Every structure is written in C-alpha cells, then in structure tokens.
C-alpha cells in the first residue's frame, strides 16, 4: 500500500523473487519523494544554483548581462522532472509485471485490502503478505494552521504561481533550509525561524554554525531558539508572532509563511484499528524485518521507527520482502544511514557527532579539513565548508563523518561503505585518492586526526 521509494522498490524486489505483486496508490506513482519531495526540490535547487553561477560569471571571465530568474519556468521544469520520474516508476512496475491498483487502500480481515477508486467503487483484494508503505505528509502545529494560501506547506512552496517578495520559513530542518536557500538565491527576502538552538538541529554543531554564517552572508535573516505563538493573515502581509527562549516577543512580516516543522506518518483511514495493528508514538511497531504484530502484515518507511528518508524506506522494503521470500537479509544498521541536505553549500553526514561519541564513552580522535585548503575547491570557486571525521582512538573505528561543501552529498558514500566494511583510519590513509578532487578532503581530514595532514 503506497508507491513511494519504499513501496515501489519493495514491489520490484518481490517481483524479482517470483512473487505476484500489486501496488495500491491513491495519487501519483513514486509517492511524495518523486512528486513532491526529493526530486522536484532538487530541480528547483539546480535552477537556483545556475542563477547563482550566472551572477558570479564575471569571476570566471564570462560576462552576462541582465540575467533574471524566470520563476514560472523554474516551477514548470520542476514539475516536468517529477512527471518524468513518475512515468519511470510506471515503466519499472510494468516491466516487472506488477499490477497498479489506483485508489485508497484500507486493511480488512482476513488478509484483505479494500481499494476505493476515484468513483467511490470498492474492490477487495486478498494477499498472503500486505506491506504498509504509506509514507508521510506535512505536519501542522496548532499555532500555525496551514490555509494553503498565505500559510503554506511544501507542496504549495514548489507550485506557486508568482515568486513571493518575502517569505517566512518556520522550521530549519532539511526541508526548511533547502527552501530558504532556493528562495534566497532567486531574490526573495527570507526569514528562517527555528525552535531549536541551531539550524539543522540533527547535524553536528560545527556544521550548523558554519551554515548559519553562510546563510547570514547570503542575506537570510535567522532566528533560532524561537517559538511561534500565532499568525495573523488578515492583512496584505502575514504577521508571525514569536517568543524567544529568553522571553522576548518578536514579530516577523512576510508575504507568505511556509510551515516546515516536520512530517507526520500517513496512518489515518487505512484500517489499522480494524486489523488490530499495534502502534506506539504515532508509528507502527515492527521487528527487525518489519513484521507487525499481525501475521502477514508488514510496515516500512516513514510509518515506522527510524529516520524518515527515502533511501531508508527503500532499504527497509528490500529487507522486508527478502525475509518474506525465505532469504537471510541482515537487519538494517540505522547507525550507518547518511543524511543529506541539498542547499549550497551542501551538507552530508553519517554516524556519531563529536558530542554523541563522547556521550557513548568513546575516546576519540577528530580531524578536520577545510575546502579553502583544497586545490579543486579553489579552482572551482567553492571553498566554503569542510570535512570533519571522528575516530575511536583505541581501535581506529570510523565513528562518524560530517561534511559541508560543494558536492559533499556525492562524497559521503565513501564513508558509508568504509564503515560497513569496518575500515580503519590507517586503511583510509593508505588508500590513494585522486588529485585534484573534492574527495581528497576526506583523506586529508583523516590524516589530520592522526597528525599526518600534509596540506594544513
């Protein structure tokens, strides 16, 4: 039930393993990720990146006059990219002989799914195994109700008809930070409000501090340690009333307010109570192989424990169906899951932060290499950011890595594979990295942890 990166990947793997498979989808194939999240936002961010390049073209010896952002075309291209990817999912499902059941799926006893189509017709299907992969949607908070006009969610933020002159973004996690970067890059006045003490609250403090400097330099107004009390949308502009942790009352004004305070699992109206599936803290309870308390019913992705990320849902889906098929997959290692934010500079991380490593009792070695010392970064004009690595001082285990800079979301995979293979710092130091590359910063940071860094 659900055709996002959890559902459709699980469906294809199940088909590869010889099962007869159907996918229930109430909207567009590919789910939120392909249609309203991961993919279309990256298309918008690419437009912003190109516009930023053009604005600085003279630095590279190229003169461009009167370059202007065409907001409508940016939005149009983003939607076309999403549409293309959704069609790609349809092709993959068809190729693997997977039946698509268009409509709203609801669990029913015993082992049934009732699918209600757009005309209200109900058809009941039986399956030995039913996988809940319904994903999530934007979370709303009582003091900031989304009216889809002046107070908007992420869907409206990527389909606006006109570019707003100013926007207040509430929530500085990955979603909020990416939209803040996009709108700021194309000329919108951006205010970013965060309840926690730093931007990207789940990231290393060093990363958050550097990101705040980068955003402030770009002209984004940042307000952390701040709680939203309410919003007034009666006037031409929105008035956002807030209180800081110190008790100071602050008001912010903008044409629009974007609520980016997180997501909530899509579990309503899918029949959980009818089949007595156990939930805890708003999520379905599952074991290491995503089996619920009801035999034959499973759940993956944003509706279960763990980080709500597309690549996590895909991995969980594969593990789940391989276990159903009688294979012997390993449980997913949630300590080796990468987190990526695609603003500029990008952010990527995996494993322990310095703080959590110390709290876990490790004696650690820390290495850090700034891109300002990188030849490739200097040549590219992308010297912002750094690579920070954390190792266990006793055994050389790679505990964590935290990166900020151009293309670091492409670089983090080296760390993930190395950690999976239990690679030590000394093995990394003896692995020759190509020059000149951005990825050299990884080996330089590792070398710095062991007082062997050449280029610092």
From 63, 148, 281, 435, active-site residue: 435
Q: Count of alpha carbons within 13 Å of 287, Cβ hemisphere only?
A: 10
What's the rounded Cα separation, in Å, for the pair 379 and 73?
31
What is the rounded (10 degree) CA torsion for 401, 407, 409, 415?
A: -40
What is the C-alpha R_g of the chain? 23
Q: Count of alpha carbons within 13 Å of 259, Cβ hemisphere only?
A: 24
User: With contact defined as beta carbons under 8 Å apart, do 384 and 214 qualify?
Assistant: yes
The helix-helix angle for 7-16 and 310-324 (nearest 10°) equals 30
Known catalytic residue: 352? no
Cβ atoms within 10 Å of 366's Cβ, excluding its own? 17
| Structure token digits, residue 234 | 């009666």
What's the rounded Cα separation, in Å, for the pair 134 and 364?
40
Residue 2 Rama label (left phi>0; alpha psi -120 to 50; beta) = left
What's the rounded Cα separation, in Å, for the pair 434 and 415?
16
Cα 223–224–228 angle (5° rounding)?
80
Residues annotated catalytic, as ranges: 435
């Amino acid at each position: 039930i659900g055709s996002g990166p959890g559902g459709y990947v699980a469906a294809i793997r199940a088909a590869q393993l010889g099962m007869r498979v159907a996918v229930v989808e109430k909207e567009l194939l590919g789910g939120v990720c392909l249609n309203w999240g991961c993919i279309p936002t990256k298309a918008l961010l690419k437009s912003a990146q190109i516009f930023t390049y053009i604005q600085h073209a003279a630095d590279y010896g190229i003169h461009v006059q009167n370059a202007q952002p065409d907001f409508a075309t940016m939005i149009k291209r983003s939607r076309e990219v999403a549409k293309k990817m959704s069609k790609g999912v349809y092709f993959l499902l068809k190729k693997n002989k997977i039946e698509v059941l268009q409509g709203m799926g609801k669990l029913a006893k015993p082992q049934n799914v009732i699918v209600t189509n757009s005309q209200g017709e109900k058809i009941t299907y039986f399956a030995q195994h039913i996988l809940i992969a319904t994903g999530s949607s934007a979370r709303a908070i009582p003091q900031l109700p989304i009216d889809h006009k002046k107070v908007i969610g992420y869907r409206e933020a990527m389909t606006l008809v006109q570019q707003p002159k100013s926007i207040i973004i509430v929530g500085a996690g990955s979603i909020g930070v990416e939209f803040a970067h996009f709108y700021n890059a194309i000329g919108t006045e951006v205010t970013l409000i965060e309840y926690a003490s730093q931007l990207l609250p789940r990231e290393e403090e060093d990363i958050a501090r550097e990101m705040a400097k980068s955003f402030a330099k770009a002209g984004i107004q940042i307000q952390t340690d701040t709680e939203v009390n309410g919003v007034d949308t009666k006037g031409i502009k929105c008035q956002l009333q807030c209180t800081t942790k110190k008790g100071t009352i602050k008001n912010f004004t903008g044409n629009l307010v974007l609520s980016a305070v997180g997501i909530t699992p899509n579990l309503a109206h899918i029949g959980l109570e009818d089949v007595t599936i156990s939930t805890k803290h708003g999520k379905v309870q599952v074991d290491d192989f995503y089996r619920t308390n009801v035999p034959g019913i499973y759940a993956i992705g944003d509706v279960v424990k763990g980080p709500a990320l597309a690549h996590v849902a895909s991995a969980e889906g594969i593990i789940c169906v391989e276990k159903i098929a009688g294979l012997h997959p390993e449980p997913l290692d949630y300590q080796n899951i990468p987190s990526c934010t695609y603003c500029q500079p990008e952010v990527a991380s995996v494993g322990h932060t310095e703080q959590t490593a110390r709290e876990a009792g490790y004696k650690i070695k820390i290495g850090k290499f700034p891109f300002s010392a990188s030849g490739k970064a200097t040549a590219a004009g992308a010297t912002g950011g750094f690579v920070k690595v954390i190792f266990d001082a006793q055994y050389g285990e790679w505990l964590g890595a935290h990166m900020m800079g151009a293309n670091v979301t492409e670089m983090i995979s080296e760390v993930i594979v190395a950690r999976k293979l239990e690679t030590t710092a000394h093995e990394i130091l003896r692995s020759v990295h190509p020059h000149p590359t951005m990825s050299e910063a990884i080996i330089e940071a590792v070398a710095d942890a062991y007082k062997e860094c050449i280029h610092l």
